[in-house]
Structure 1
């Protein structure tokens, strides 16, 4: 019998349920994937809490890896027993097995384990989007990375520094600062949880010779938006790709001109990998970067799938570093 996690009402992590979920044979264009490891991401918590409304009942999870157990028709290129992963194609990854669109499956190389892949796919492809589509690394340029010891932050910091970017890692504890430095951050700034970010722009300018950062990667959202803008050099780019502290404030675009002809982008990984060819190409480059040591998977903790509520509580505490993995 297959099992999955669901929620029938929005709320705290306690609304997550463990339930039986009979799984039919895959339809044409689908592959049945028996999961080996499942990634936990902010979007899962946003949907469960109601920040991102979804029809109820809902079935969380967009990222998982496993082996192909059965194939429907029209699934050329896949084999039963093949190791695969995915980062989109419909929610429901918090399950023991799932029928998934075959065209959205990513073959996994032997250079990465199941756990590493589950901790890296969504976060690594997000980093790929940021350094290949949103802002091309410029050797010697300064980049401010928020939540630099988080799941995406650690991957992004290592990738940027491997290409010559001078990274300032923003973190909430001294322990997290040490992790960001270990991944190559040239400098770190600590703003403890609940404290103000008002001093951040001046701190960034002191580190950059008064110039400011060429780019700010901000996954925090509401609490850091203004300070991120004020940390940029003229013609700088604010990349707002998360909202862990809440939705962005109402903003007049004219402020971008007043602050130095700035640019603002709000990218989504789902747009980045929507095209099949780009998905496969991006994944291949990401795995190659992993094999070369340009990025690595950081796994904070592994929990049984049945303990998804605890995983969400840990995630929302913002005390984790790296990825949380659920094991069926």
Structure 2
């Protein structure tokens, strides 16, 4: 499922809701969304990950780059409603050092107010305290003046300390970026192996389903062929059962009336040969050939007259 990124503004807070998956195909969309957040000019930013399913190493690197930009520009970024699987990954990478993570969106927004309260010096004099209240004696005016100057010096000192702390924090992400990326790479390799192992049963199941479909198709074709053969056999049986008129029996070959002193003759009928004719008249094939002066390679003709016995 493609990345869904929703950006809304609530007073001085920009809320970025991330949903679905952050993979290699969603990096460009994630980058464009962060650019849109930068253009709002808001100081406080909340990344809400309640509906985020997964994030790869390039997505985490893009997040770290966004945190780095926020530090450099004096922005504050917080995470809210992080799913358990992504929270485990971020904890392994030490993301808590770069940003705060809250269970709910209201808690994250309240965290900005707490940060603002912590940034204000506790002993900063108010306007009422600094304003003159009429004519007073010289020693009291000098004591108030010294208090104002002391408060201003203390505020300046606090600002200097915060400045150097922020400068030190700016170097932190840059120094920790390479180890984090190495950790991300190792974790991504492990996740890829786990995903490949998880996909193996699915691939086997898909192959079995494919084989089952092919087998069912072949069985269906065989069943159709068997039914067709049965139908053809049944129709052929019906055709053979139709009563046909019996063919007239072939008439016996006309026998010549043998006269005393004449040789007996036989007229060759269709389908007859020397063997059948010799067998009919109790002769051998050689005797039949000798009586009719036939060569071994000479064939018979229908209607040919053959001598089958000598006259007495």
Q: Shared fold by TM > 0.5?
A: no
TM-score, scaled relative to structure 2: 0.26
Larger radius of gyration: 2
* Higher relative contact order structure (alpha carbons within 8 Å, sequence separation ≥ 6): 1
